[in-house]
Amino acid sequence: MTTVSPPAVRLRRPGWRDPRLLGGLVLVALSVALGGYAVAAAGRTVPVLATPSALVPGDEVDVDALVVRQVRLAEAGDLYLRADRPVEDALVAVRTVGPGEMVPLGAVAPATALDVRSVSVTSKAALSEQVVPGASVDLWFVPDAGSGDPPGEPRQLATGLTVAEVSDAGGAFSVGGGTTVHVLVPVDRLPEVLGALASDGSVEVVPVAGVVP
């Protein structure tokens, strides 16, 4: 009886047309491309504008006076005032931006959108050291005593107002008795605040505790 041996199986080197080899090459190419994109995205920066000094509501935003910072913000870069995009309208600050901070788009608006007015208040009492530009304050009216009677109860005129400027009679920034504080009052509160300033009594500026510029 003669036994026939099966033919030997020889391993062949895969050719360029082998689908397994082509699939592996595609996966390697995709991995390299995605890795390169991730590295490039991580190192990409956007030019964002920052303010060298504090901005308070009502301040005109001079784009030329702002400084450019190259930062890695990715999609968040669209939330800030950009140096590579034109500013068509005259802008004003609508909320406080601290010195050195990037300027959020939500902190600026066209001048026509500002609904506050600057009102000068000269306090008879000594001011707190916390009453500085950008600080949040309340306004209180203290009636004068009339005909020897004790003064009436103080009443709150407005709360959470922003200080735009603090100056003495000579115009220098200071804190103390007789200092003039320029506060930004919402338009709908102007009648009461202006009426109190014209009344017999004093309007006092009280800082909001824990709120600093």
The kind and range of the H/E element at 100 are none
The kind and range of the H/E element at 142 are strand 136-143
pLDDT value at residue 139? 94
Q: Which three-class secondary structure state does DSSP give residue 134?
A: coil
Q: What is the pLDDT averaged over residues 160-182? A: 69
Question: 130 falls in which pLDDT band (50, 70, 90)?
Answer: confident
**Domain 46-112 top-level CATH class:** alpha beta
Q: pLDDT (tens digit, 9 = 90+) per residue, 46-96?
A: 888 999 988 887 788 888 889 998 887 666 667 888 888 887 778 888 778
User: Taking a C-beta distance cutoff of 8 angstroms, is the pair 162, 136 a contact?
Assistant: yes
Question: 114 falls in which pLDDT band (50, 70, 90)?
Answer: confident
Q: What ranges do the domains of the chain cover? A: 46-112, 115-207
Q: pLDDT (tens digit, 9 = 90+) per residue, 14-47?
A: 555 666 666 666 677 777 666 655 544 545 788 8
The whole-model pTM stands at 0.55
CA distance 134 to 173: 13
pLDDT value at residue 25? 66
| Residue for token pair 């390299």 | 32
